[in-house]
């Protein structure tokens, strides 16, 4: 049973760029687990690897999480988005990153602001003899590694500096000889064993574990030290992270033991894979959450899709569409798969289309206009009248059924936004009908449509009824030329729908043009 009173989980990205789709899934599973158990979801920034730091990356990570609705309860926030749940009196400005605020009782939540804390704990391990200074040069370490490779041994530090006399070590440290701090992993420790909530029992031989570096020569802690110290001090109850971190976990467990701390529970979630089963990478498509949102994937669809990459609700459930609240209710770490999950873009497109279909036209319009899609798509070049809110809403009510993403607006039916149509005049003839018959049909349509009043034009059902009646038995004779005249396209929605969207003036103009082509 999960003890729900103390559930605290964290998403702990390193600011090396944008929020990766895999990162979003890790954040989501943490979020769902926290919400399901009434726990706390924390956002912590792991920026101790200065060489991988990318300016602006923290801000972009937080922004993407906010945009997908996974706002943390505690940790770091963007000042400009302040108000998404945290109260003024609880926040502090970050010392090193303007524009970022921190909220919660266990801060700072940015590791580069916690260097003193890591130093204190590294010193504690040195004092208790659980860790030691190592002064070996890069050259020596390479020699050791090469010799081990020759002897077919696993690459491991040979504990050379552990054999230095205490005085010598002290003297080197005080005189400032460059050094790192390593954990002393005892060979007699026996296997490291832990129960992973996804993978079951995991067992690693201690002799395969290196005397890991805890503090680097630049004085910065390594990921391992900072991660364990923070998870302990921030009272993290469950570490839910990607499977790529599994090899680090035995090292972390040895650290918890060295400190004498209680361990959190671990859950390693499966890798995300390209369709060819390689690890999901940029080379085979977009991996940045921001890119997906920019292309017009709805956050609800993205979250729903990502949730199902590596998890299912179990009990033979076939439900595929889940709101965030439904995911919270259904989520269970016990149903996270062990095998890697393939990122299937077609499935995402399908899911996004399902979400778009369910949107009321007003909301869809709102998303298209605030998402910048009016500027990015062919709408931007359309005549004034075809960019009005009213016109676009009519287009959307027709297109909604067929859009895979918001940026596809107009793509399937470019004639909605064209000032002039260009098409082969021959296309106007229905099944080998003579030009005279086509002209007659087009003139008839023109007459019918020009006689209709505004009220009749306001309902596509009325247009449909009148035109169908006029077409009689041989529908194609009348309706095909009309449809082509209005669209210039071989395939399109029905002529009633198109005429209704275009309106009286534009429809008659297009009909006239088509008649001119035939004379």
Span interacting with ligand GLU, options 11-19, 183-191, 272-280, 323-331, rule CB under 6 A: 11-19
| 227 sits near ligand GLU (criterion: CB under 6 A) | yes
| 13 sits near ligand GLU (criterion: CB under 6 A) | yes
Alpha helices in 335-459 (DSSP H): 345-357, 361-370, 373-376, 389-399, 435-451, 454-457
| 48 sits near ligand GLU (criterion: CB under 6 A) | no
| 245 sits near ligand GLU (criterion: CB under 6 A) | yes
Q: Which three-class secondary structure state does DSSP give residue 155?
A: coil
- The answer to whether residues 268 and 241 touch, using CB atoms and an 8 Å cutoff, is yes
Q: Which residues contact 189 (CB under 8 A, 6 or more apart)?
A: 206, 254
| Least separation in angstroms between CB 34 and ligand GLU | 14
Please report, for residues 247, 292, 407, the alpha-carbon distance to residue 279 in angstroms, rounded to integers and kept in the order given.
17, 19, 28
| Least separation in angstroms between CB 269 and ligand GLU | 10
| Least separation in angstroms between CB 234 and ligand GLU | 12
Respond yes or no: is residue 80 known to be catalytic: no
Please report, for residues 10, 193, 242, 442, the alpha-carbon distance to residue 338 in angstroms, rounded to integers and kept in the order given.
21, 18, 11, 63
- The answer to whether residues 100 and 216 touch, using CB atoms and an 8 Å cutoff, is no
Nearer residue to ligand GLU within complex by CB, 179 or 228: 228
| 114 sits near ligand GLU (criterion: CB under 6 A) | no
**258 vs 360: CA distance, rounded Å:** 58
Span interacting with ligand GLU, options 9-17, 298-306, 363-371, 433-441, rule CB under 6 A: 9-17
Q: Which residues contact 472 (CB under 8 A, 6 or more apart)?
A: 478
* Torsion on CA atoms 471, 475, 478, 484, rounded to nearest 10: 140
Span interacting with ligand GLU, options 6-14, 301-309, 420-428, 497-505, rule CB under 6 A: 6-14
| 250 sits near ligand GLU (criterion: CB under 6 A) | no
**Rg (alpha carbons) of the chain, rounded to whole number:** 32
| Least separation in angstroms between CB 243 and ligand GLU | 11
Span interacting with ligand GLU, options 12-20, 308-316, 341-349, 423-431, rule CB under 6 A: 12-20
Span interacting with ligand GLU, options 10-18, 272-280, 464-472, 493-501, rule CB under 6 A: 10-18
| Least separation in angstroms between CB 12 and ligand GLU | 4
Characterize the bridge pairing of strands 91-93 and 100-103. Answer: antiparallel
Q: Which of 95, 282, 357, 447 is the catalytic position?
A: 282
Nearer residue to ligand GLU within complex by CB, 111 or 413: 111
Backbone angles phi, psi at 371, to 5 degrees: -80, 0
| Least separation in angstroms between CB 490 and ligand GLU | 50
Nearer residue to ligand GLU within complex by CB, 227 or 352: 227
Nearer residue to ligand GLU within complex by CB, 22 or 495: 22
Position among 37, 224, 241, 268 found at the interface with ligand GLU (CB under 6 A): 241
| Least separation in angstroms between CB 110 and ligand GLU | 12
CB atoms inside a 10 Å sphere around CB 320: 14
Number of residues that bind ligand GLU (CB under 6 A): 7
Please report, for residues 183, 206, 209, the alpha-carbon distance to residue 122 in angstroms, rounded to integers and kept in the order given.
9, 21, 19
Position among 12, 65, 134, 258 found at the interface with ligand GLU (CB under 6 A): 12
Q: Which three-class secondary structure state does DSSP give residue 63?
A: helix
| 14 sits near ligand GLU (criterion: CB under 6 A) | yes
| 46 sits near ligand GLU (criterion: CB under 6 A) | yes
| 197 sits near ligand GLU (criterion: CB under 6 A) | no
- The answer to whether residues 226 and 111 touch, using CB atoms and an 8 Å cutoff, is yes
| 70 sits near ligand GLU (criterion: CB under 6 A) | no
Please report, for residues 22, 25, 293, 438, the alpha-carbon distance to residue 342 in angstroms, rounded to integers and kept in the order given.
11, 13, 20, 52
| Least separation in angstroms between CB 229 and ligand GLU | 12
Characterize the bridge pairing of strands 272-273 and 341-342. Answer: parallel
Please report, for residues 127, 133, 171, 490, the alpha-carbon distance to residue 174 in angstroms, rounded to integers and kept in the order given.
15, 12, 5, 83
Span interacting with ligand GLU, options 7-15, 29-37, 355-363, 427-435, rule CB under 6 A: 7-15
| Interface with ligand GLU (CB under 6 A) | 12-14, 46, 227, 241, 245
Q: Which residue numbers are catalytic?
A: 282
């Amino acid at each position: 049973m999960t003890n729900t009173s103390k559930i605290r989980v964290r998403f702990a990205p390193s600011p090396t760029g944008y929020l990766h789709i895999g990162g979003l899934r890790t954040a989501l599973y943490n979020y769902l687990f926290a919400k399901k158990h009434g726990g706390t979801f924390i956002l912590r920034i792991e920026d101790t690897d200065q060489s991988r730091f990318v300016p602006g990356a923290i801000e972009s990570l937080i922004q993407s999480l906010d945009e997908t609705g996974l706002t943390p309860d505690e940790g770091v926030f963007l000042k400009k988005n302040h108000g998404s749940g945290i109260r003024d009196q609880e926040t502090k400005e970050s010392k090193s990153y303007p524009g970022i605020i921190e909220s919660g009782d266990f801060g700072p939540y940015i590791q580069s602001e916690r260097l003193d804390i890591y130093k204190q704990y590294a010193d504690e391990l040195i004092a208790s003899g659980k860790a030691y200074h190592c002064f070996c040069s890069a050259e020596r370490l390479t020699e050791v590694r090469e010799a081990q490779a020759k002897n077919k041994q696993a690459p491991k530090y040979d504990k050379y500096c552990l054999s230095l006399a205490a005085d010598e070590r002290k003297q080197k440290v005080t005189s400032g000889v460059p050094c790192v701090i390593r954990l002393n992993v005892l060979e007699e420790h026996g296997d490291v064993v832990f129960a992973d909530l996804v993978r079951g029992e995991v067992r690693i031989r201690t002799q395969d574990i290196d005397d890991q570096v805890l503090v680097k020569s630049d004085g910065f802690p390594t990921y391992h030290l900072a991660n364990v110290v923070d998870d302990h001090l921030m009272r993290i109850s469950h570490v839910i992270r990607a499977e790529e971190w599994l090899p680090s976990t035995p090292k972390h467990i040895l650290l918890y033991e060295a400190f004498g701390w209680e361990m959190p529970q671990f859950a390693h979630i499966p890798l995300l894979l390209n369709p060819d089963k390689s690890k999901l990478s940029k080379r085979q498509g977009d991996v940045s959450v921001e890119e997906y949102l920019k292309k017009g994937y709805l956050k609800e669809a993205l979250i729903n899709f990502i949730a199902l990459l590596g998890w299912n609700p179990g009990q033979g459930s076939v439900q595929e569409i889940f709101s965030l609240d439904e995911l919270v209710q259904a989520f269970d770490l016990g149903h996270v798969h062990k095998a890697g999950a393939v990122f299937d873009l077609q499935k995402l497109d399908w899911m996004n289309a399902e979400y778009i279909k369910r949107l009321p036209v007003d909301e869809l319009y709102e998303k298209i206009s605030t998402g910048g899609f009016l500027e990015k798509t062919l709408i931007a070049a359309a005549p004034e009248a075809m960019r009005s809110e009213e016109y676009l809403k009519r287009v959307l009510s027709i297109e909604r059924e067929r859009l895979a993403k918001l940026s596809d607006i107009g793509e399937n039916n470019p004639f909605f936004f064209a000032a002039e149509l260009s098409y082969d005049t021959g296309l106007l003839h229905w099944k080998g009908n003579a030009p005279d018959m086509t002209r007659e049909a087009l003139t008839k349509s023109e007459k019918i449509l020009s006689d209709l009043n505004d009220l009749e034009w306001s309902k596509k059902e009325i247009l449909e009824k009148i035109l169908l009646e006029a077409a009689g038995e041989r529908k194609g004779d009348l309706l095909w030329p009309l449809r082509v005249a209005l669209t210039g396209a071989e395939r399109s929605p029905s002529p009633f729908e198109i005429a209704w969207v275009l309106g009286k003036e534009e429809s008659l103009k297009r009909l006239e043009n088509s008649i001119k082509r035939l004379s």
